[in-house]
Structure 1
Amino acid sequence: MGWGFFAHQRINELAVFSLPPAMLVLYKSQQAYLKVHATDADKRRYIVAAEGPRHYIDLDRYGPPPYDWIPRSWQAALQQFGEDSLLQNGIVPWYIPQMMKQLTKAFQEKDLDKILHLSADLGHYVADAHVPLHACSNHNGQFTGQEGIHGLWESRIPELLADAGFNYWCGKAAYIRDVPAFVWQIVCTSALAADTVLRAEKSLSLRTPADARYAWENRKGKLVRTYAASYTKAYQQLLGNMVERRMRAAIHAVACCWYTAWVDAGQPPLTALVQKRPKENTILPDTGKMIGRVEE
């Protein structure tokens, strides 16, 4: 998965505050919903076969950077690489624009359930695109003897350190004039940071005894082996607070995507939707079409 449950929920929750008043009137009243359902997309991965590739792209499988030669259009990518190859390597930068079009339509139809459902899911995918190991085939350090690094970067650091001083302020949402270019900039930045993520942890692990890298913690009545707090803090310092920066960037990007979808819908008034109550499900159903049918 991308960010852990804690970070995904925090990103959706805080993205609300970057919205303009005309959107805030609805999104603030539904902030708890957007937070709770921020992780639906991860939960669906266990029950929807098409879900997995929507969360990542292994850009290194396409060759070295820069990646400007990779088609930004889904149809062009299909023609060049074929569906099987695309699905194997992940499709998040092609899927996010499709989700935004669906959200725009939901705003036009003033469909509260779809607006909230799609907003929560869109926030998840945009946040995932900000994770360096979601843009790299060595996503859990499995090729370099660093198994577990994914959870260390995207779960352990935020859970342990986010409330101890992370700066979340990212400014107001801005309109995205070129959505594909915006999304590809995010994933390319993530891909370029992947080497730093892996190299820093490898360097730290080589000079830290194994018994100092891990610790046992009680979680919900069970002892769980996890990265030690001291090791986690040392890794965060080596990264130069990268996790904090990418989390803050994700918050702003999510707000920008919500805002852009609303503007493209004609900025419909949302006040009338505030009094309605959304349908609640433990895990909301699939929001997208089958992967191979992603539209332009």
Structure 2
Amino acid sequence: MTAPTVPTITLNNGIEMPQLGFGVFQVPDAETTAAVSAALEAGYRSIDTAAIYGNEAGVGRAIAQSGIPRDELFVTSKLWIDSLDYDSAMRGYEASLERLGLETLDLFLIHWPAPASESYLDAWRALTQLAADGRVRAVGVSNFLPAHLDRLAEASDLVPAVNQVELHPALQNRETAEANRRLGIATEAWSPLAQGAVLGDESVIAIAERHGKTPAQVVLRWHLQQGRIVIPKSVTPARIAANLDVFDFELAEAELSAIDGLDRDGRTGPHPAEFNG
């Protein structure tokens, strides 16, 4: 089976990012190499990890073993809240590169704004410098709310290329998505399938049956048709491949609206604030 061609999103600095990538949140490092290897074999070329995940080394091993030229891959990692001052952010970037075994990243994000202070502004200065020096192709943020985005806009001329947020049919995060659109920031959905919580919904199942697809494929298609970047996660090779098989059908407007109507403004998975206890 020929791997599908994944469309790209042009970020606000002109860099093209695959619209569908592979996430490794909550995958133990020991399992990460096999999962990422399966994803690369299936045709994924965008891989998303983070320092706090503890599996950057596993991602790096899979990339090294794949033999895929580095310029055909798009690799994202994220800076955790223990490194939000300028110098620590610079060291955090180097540490991520070392664990990944790479010389540069395609996208580097501030993972969480830690809003009790504005230390993310210092981290953003570091990321701005990394981008200016050509040491990372694009920089952005994760889990930033509109107020954090507006504060960054006040303090810096560099607009984040991406804001990665929890977004799925049950939590559509519309205010943040609108702020991203207003500022020219691409919205990237983590937990795009709500960790499976929405896949049993009757309307999603009905749409899937009409198209001869799985509920997961329908939800991913819903994201893609609304212009979002998605990074579904799985450790099962068959599901990894199925999540990429979403480019041979299209949802009708009524079907998109039906899924839009599932918004419950409630989270189904762990919130990033829980990562540090």
Q: Which structure's relative contact order is higher, taking Cα pairs within 8 Å and 6+ residues apart?
A: 1
TM-score (norm 2): 0.29
Larger radius of gyration: 1
Larger strand percent? 2
TM-score (norm 1): 0.27
